[in-house]
Every structure is written in structure tokens, then in C-alpha cells.
């Protein structure tokens, strides 16, 4: 990854990040990670983030993490951010039920730092346990850049339709009727990975101001927020691979 000097204010989240959104960049990997997932970040840096691979794809990568009350781990994350210049620490405690905050704040950061203001760039959103077939991705990016994203903004992903909130109180994914009253979710993307034009992510970032917060991040970001922004979803041709997929 080619990294240039930082011009991000030290008062803002991610001030240690060196600019990864140069003008000619074609693919931005926007990665949701966690403070204690340093090994996963190193793996991504050594594979899809490797200098030669990044040059082939014309890509760069930014990791977004929340904060941790563990002072030793927090120091390790800060040292990693200083060393690699690709980690943004956002101002919330990094827990499963705070993942929607990560989406809101990460997209706000990308918008504020000039990553979403070009017509020739694609965002690949990943969780940190997802691998990318860069050969398929480069072909898919060429296809995406031929589409009219202003006429039909879209997210390309694995779509989940007709899913219902889990009402079992002993479930990790329990959702009360106070949190979400409808009996089913709108169609949404499996949140581990999806692809979109940068203009679409900008639409989602702006639409969060009009959608009540909901902690189930993939439903919130690619379902409720996308619906508000009039963004539709399409099933992609799978350049992305999660370790749990077959």
C-alpha cells in the first residue's frame, strides 16, 4: 500500500492514519476490526494489503476499531497505528452491540477525510476474517465502474431476505419489540463483506441521520439505512470469501 503524509487533525479519531485515499486510488478496503484482532490485521496486510498485491489492484486499506478499557491492549493498538498508519480508533467501547456505532463513525470518518468524493473508486467493506480473491475483484470493479450509480445506487453482497428478529431472550441476537417492533427485517446484506461505489457509501453515511439507531449492524446499515437512502442490493459474483462460507 502506498501511503503519503497525514493531514488529519490530531484532535480527530484516526489522526495517526496516513492518507490512504490518493486521487487515483481504485479500491478502498474498509475493514471492521476489534482492538484484540491484531493477528487478523497483520494477515490482511501481508496478503491483500501486500505492496505488490495492492499495486496490482490499485488498493489501500483502513482498519476501524473502537476503544478498549484494557490499558495494555490500548497501548498495543496505539503502537500498531503509529507503526502502520492504517488503524483508526473510534471513540466508543468496542463491543458486539456497538457495531452500528462503528459503521456510523467509520463512514463519517471516510467522508470527512476525502475518501468518498471521486467517481472512479469502489469501497470493499470487510470484517477482518474475510479474504478477497483479488483477480475476481479487479474484474468486478471494472464492471461496477460501468454502472450509473446516481440513477440506481446499489450494494453488491450476499442478500438476506425475509429474515425475522430473534425474540428468544437467551439468544446473543435477541431483539426486543421495543428495539424493533416489526415482525421481519427489510432485505439486507450479510455484513461480513460487501462492495459498492464510494458515492453509495456517502449516501448511507448521510442517511444515518434520518434512521433511528438499531444495534444489529448489518440490518441497520444495509437494510434500514439503505432503504432510507433508496439504495438497493444486488447479489455479487463472490470475489469475497468468509472462513465460514462453503
Residue 177 is part of a domain; what is its CATH number?
3.90.550
Whether 7 is in a domain gets the answer no
- CA 98 and chain centroid, separation: 14
Percent above pLDDT 90 for the chain? 76
Percent above pLDDT 70 for the chain? 87
Number of domains in the chain: 1
pLDDT in tens, 31-56: 999 999 999 999 999 999 999 999 99
The whole model's pTM is what? Answer: 0.89
Q: Are 199 and 116 in contact (CB under 8 A)?
A: yes
Tell me which residue of 159, 103, 132, 119 sits closest to 239, measured CA to CA: 132
β-sheet bridge partners, residue 13 = none
Tell me which residue of 235, 234, 242, 180 sits closest to 211, measured CA to CA: 180
- CA 240 and chain centroid, separation: 13
Distance CA(53)–CA(49), nearest Å, equals: 7
**Quick one: pLDDT at residue 210?**
96
Structural domain harbouring 102: 27-242
**Quick one: pLDDT at residue 4?**
35
Whether 76 is in a domain gets the answer yes
Whether 21 is in a domain gets the answer no
The answer for residues whose C-beta is within 8 angstroms of residue 66's C-beta and 6 or more apart is: 34, 35, 89, 90, 91, 92, 93, 94, 95, 98, 101, 102
- CA 163 and chain centroid, separation: 22
Whether 64 is in a domain gets the answer yes
Whether 9 is in a domain gets the answer no
195: pLDDT strictly greater than 50 = yes
Whether 49 is in a domain gets the answer yes
DSSP per position, 98-149: GHHHHHHHHHHHHHHTTSS--SS-EEEEEETTEEE-HHHHHHHHHHHTTS-T
Whether 199 is in a domain gets the answer yes
The answer for residues whose C-beta is within 8 angstroms of residue 43's C-beta and 6 or more apart is: none
Name which of 3-7, 120-124, 157-161, 165-169 the model is least confident about. 3-7
Whether 4 is in a domain gets the answer no
pLDDT in tens, 224-238: 999 999 999 877 655
**How many contiguous H segments (helices) and E segments (strands) does the chain have?**
8, 9
**Quick one: pLDDT at residue 10?**
38
Amino acid at each position: 500500500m502506498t501511503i503519503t503524509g497525514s493531514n488529519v487533525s490530531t484532535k480527530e479519531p484516526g489522526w495517526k492514519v496516513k492518507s490512504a485515499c490518493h486521487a487515483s486510488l481504485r479500491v478502498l478496503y474498509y475493514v471492521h476490526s476489534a482492538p484484540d484482532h491484531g493477528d487478523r490485521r497483520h494477515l490482511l496486510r501481508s496478503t491483500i494489503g501486500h505492496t505488490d498485491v495492492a499495486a496490482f489492484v490499485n488498493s489501500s486499506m483502513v482498519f476501524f476499531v473502537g476503544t478498549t478499557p484494557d490499558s495494555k491492549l490500548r497501548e498495543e493498538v496505539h503502537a500498531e497505528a503509529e507503526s502502520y498508519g492504517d488503524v483508526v480508533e473510534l471513540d466508543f467501547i468496542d463491543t458486539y452491540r456497538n457495531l452500528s456505532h462503528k459503521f456510523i463513525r467509520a463512514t463519517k470518518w471516510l467522508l470527512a477525510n476525502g475518501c468518498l468524493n471521486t467517481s472512479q473508486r469502489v469501497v470493499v467493506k470487510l470484517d477482518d476474517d474475510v479474504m478477497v480473491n483479488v483477480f475476481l475483484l479487479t474484474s468486478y470493479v471494472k464492471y461496477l465502474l460501468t454502472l450509473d450509480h446516481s440513477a440506481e445506487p446499489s450494494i453488491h453482497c450476499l442478500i438476506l431476505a425475509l429474515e425475522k428478529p430473534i425474540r428468544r431472550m437467551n439468544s446473543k441476537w435477541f431483539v426486543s419489540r421495543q428495539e424493533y417492533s416489526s415482525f421481519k427485517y427489510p432485505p439486507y446484506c450479510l455484513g461480513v463483506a460487501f462492495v459498492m461505489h464510494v458515492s453509495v457509501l456517502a449516501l448511507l453515511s448521510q442517511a444515518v441521520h434520518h434512521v433511528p439507531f438499531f444495534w444489529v449492524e448489518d440490518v441497520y446499515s444495509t437494510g434500514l439505512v439503505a432503504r432510507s437512502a433508496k439504495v438497493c442490493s444486488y447479489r455479487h459474483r463472490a470475489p469475497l470469501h468468509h472462513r465460514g462460507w462453503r
